[in-house]
């Protein structure tokens, strides 16, 4: 074998995404509001792009006045503007018996109709009930101070300290500095801080992570000397020195594993359970409404999506002024970019609508009867049904929201794992289980708080076969405390 430089010819195949394809994939993952920003940048970069008439005006305009046509016309100008547009630029063709997608002549309205199913839509709450921010941490704590202490001065100082907590529930200001600002002694400030630390959720008012975890361990009656040493040496736990930490705690392997599991179950940022002071409204991308015949009407929310068109008159004016080859090449490039962007946005609309229509069809029970009838659903199941790749469905459902009479939900909300039913037939959605747990806990009496074991038995009667640890996981996921925490919280509520 000769050792020296030589030339070899090799043939191989590779998949290369063009810039246009990369742009189309990027557009799929953007929400309508993000698309609005993207279009604003495109308008600045391409002089041939322009905003069309609003959706309402476009619906009233006759077809002949539309500036953007989906098929080529006979005039030379229209042929130039429509250059490169093919059959895929027409509205999506779907079996009318299952899904009727239609679009007006101005491309301003995208809608799909699903046929009626058994059962009626029923009376649904107004969507405004879901608007606005929830209760903030400060509001939640201020409401509890009066019942936590009878000392008016301590209550006053506690209210002042609550206002100093950060969004995670920690007192970031040194207590001595807070006492000086309030004009009281350090001992009085410590008394007020003890009042704040006795409030729900457990762990608020802590000055560091160790104190936050210690408060929660005390509430759970697990703050023994071994747990105290574990919490006091969190730096060793962060470095992974478990063997040294176990020796310091003086416990065996089983007890040490239980202690770690208990510690991981605590909330290091208890204040984040509550909403921020200023809630940002969620703008839906898809609108679902019940039809008179019991079916569903599904449409893209055009209120947040500008309508993009090619300015034909300006293109003709610029083309007439292009005297050299370089200028004409630049103008042709801008025209191709504008046509491609409009076509990519058009395809994005149809893809979102197709995915949303399949979600509504699969989760028909939820839209008619509520979360208890939400079925297990995966991205793969939707992708296989509509003939798309799973990654495409994932991009379409990211950062997108659907508004129906039950409220506004992220599209990802409708994809949930399944839980085996007690009778062994089929499966139920994890969201349906969470709703059942919340219903049981909301209905419990202050003197008969349900333990996780009791919830397991009650859920089994409802057809949910779950282990105790699964019930505890779902209960914590929806922000509901343990039986000890709920007993204390409801006792305070009864006093108020």
pLDDT at 174: 87
Question: What's the gap between Cα 16 and its chain centre?
Answer: 32
Region of poorest pLDDT, from 8-12, 28-32, 72-76: 72-76
Cα–Cα dist 215/221, whole Å: 10
Alpha-helix runs per DSSP H in 175-303: 175-182, 186-197, 209-219, 225-232, 234-239, 242-249, 253-264
pLDDT at 276: 53
Domain boundary among 273, 295, 322: 273
Cα–Cα dist 216/268, whole Å: 9
Indicate whether 461 belongs to any domain.
yes
DSSP structure string for 285-333: SEEEEE-TTS-EEEEE-GGGSPPEEE-HHHHHHHHHH--SHHHHHHHHH
Do both 229 and 322 map to the same domain? no
Let me know: does 236 contact 244? Beta carbons within 8 Å. Answer: yes
Domain boundary among 224, 253, 273: 273
The two tokens of residue 50 are: 């322009």
Q: What are the pLDDT digits (tens) for 133-164?
A: 567 888 888 888 877 888 888 888 888 888 88
Q: What are the pLDDT digits (tens) for 370-386?
A: 776 778 888 888 999 99
Domain boundary among 247, 273, 299: 273
Q: What are the pLDDT digits (tens) for 57-109?
A: 444 434 333 333 333 233 343 333 333 333 333 333 333 333 333 333 333 34
Q: Which domain holds residue 430?
A: 417-495
Cα–Cα dist 27/341, whole Å: 10
Do both 251 and 167 map to the same domain? yes
Do both 269 and 189 map to the same domain? yes
Indicate whether 11 belongs to any domain.
no
Domain count, the chain: 3
Cα–Cα dist 2/174, whole Å: 76
Do both 143 and 211 map to the same domain? yes
The two tokens of residue 177 are: 């500095």
Do both 300 and 259 map to the same domain? no
DSSP structure string for 138-160: HHHHHHHHHHH-S-HHHHHHHHH
Residue 102 carries which DSSP code? E
Higher pLDDT: 247 or 63? It is 247
Let me know: does 271 contact 261? Beta carbons within 8 Å. Answer: no
Do both 398 and 287 map to the same domain? yes
Cα–Cα dist 155/436, whole Å: 38
Evaluate if residue 117 carries a pLDDT over 70.
no
Q: What proportion of the chain, given as a percentage, has pLDDT over 70?
A: 77
Do both 311 and 388 map to the same domain? yes
Cα–Cα dist 230/259, whole Å: 8
Evaluate if residue 354 carries a pLDDT over 70.
yes
């Amino acid at each position: 074998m000769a050792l020296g430089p030589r030339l070899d010819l090799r043939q191989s195949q590779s998949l290369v995404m063009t810039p246009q394809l990369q742009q189309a994939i990027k557009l799929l993952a953007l929400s309508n509001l993000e698309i609005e920003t993207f279009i604003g940048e495109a308008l600045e970069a391409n002089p041939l792009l322009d905003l069309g008439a609003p959706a309402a005006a476009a619906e009233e305009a006759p077809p002949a006045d539309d500036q953007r046509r989906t098929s080529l016309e006979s005039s030379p100008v229209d042929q130039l503007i429509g250059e490169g547009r093919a059959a895929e630029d027409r509205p999506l063709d779907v079996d009318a018996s299952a899904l009727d997608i239609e679009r007006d002549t101005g491309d301003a309205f995208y809608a799909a109709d699903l046929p009626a199913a058994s059962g009626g839509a029923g009376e649904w709450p107004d969507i405004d009930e879901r608007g606005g921010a929830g209760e903030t941490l400060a509001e939640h704590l201020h409401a509890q101070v009066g019942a936590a202490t009878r000392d008016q001065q301590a209550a006053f100082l506690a209210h002042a300290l609550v206002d100093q907590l950060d969004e995670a529930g920690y007192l970031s200001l040194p207590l001595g500095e807070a006492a000086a600002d309030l004009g009281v002694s350090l001992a009085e400030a410590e008394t007020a801080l003890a009042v704040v630390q006795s409030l729900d959720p457990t762990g608020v008012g802590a000055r560091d992570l160790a104190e936050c975890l210690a408060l929660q361990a005390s509430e759970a009656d697990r703050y023994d000397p071994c747990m105290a040493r574990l919490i006091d040496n969190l730096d060793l736990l962060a470095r992974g020195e478990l063997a040294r930490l176990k020796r310091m705690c003086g416990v065996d392997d089983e007890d040490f594993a239980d202690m770690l599991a208990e510690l991981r179950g605590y909330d290091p940022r208890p204040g984040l359970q509550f909403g921020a002071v200023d809630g940002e409204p969620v703008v839906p991308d898809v609108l679902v409404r019940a039809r008179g015949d019991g079916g569903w009407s599904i449409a893209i929310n055009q209120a947040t999506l500008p309508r993009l068109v090619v300015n034909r008159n300006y293109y003709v004016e610029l083309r007439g002024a292009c005297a050299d080859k370089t200028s004409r090449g630049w103008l042709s490039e801008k025209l191709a970019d504008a046509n491609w962007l409009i076509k990519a946005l058009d395809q994005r609309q149809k893809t979102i609508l197709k995915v949303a229509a399949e979600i509504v069809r699969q989760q028909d029970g939820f839209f008619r009867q509520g979360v208890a009838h939400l079925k297990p659903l995966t991205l793969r199941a939707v992708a296989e049904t509509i003939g798309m790749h799973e990654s495409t469905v994932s991009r379409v459902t990211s950062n997108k929201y659907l508004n129906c009479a039950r409220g506004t939900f992220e599209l990802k909300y409708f994809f949930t794992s399944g839980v085996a039913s007690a009778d062994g037939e089929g499966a139920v959605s994890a969201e349906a289980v969470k709703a059942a747990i919340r219903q049981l806990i909301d209905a419990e009496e202050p003197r008969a708080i349900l333990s996780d074991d009791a919830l397991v038995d009650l859920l089994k009667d409802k057809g949910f076969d779950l282990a105790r640890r699964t019930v505890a996981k779902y209960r914590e996921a929806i922000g509901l405390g343990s039986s000890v925490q709920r007993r204390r919280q409801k006792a305070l509520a009864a006093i108020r």
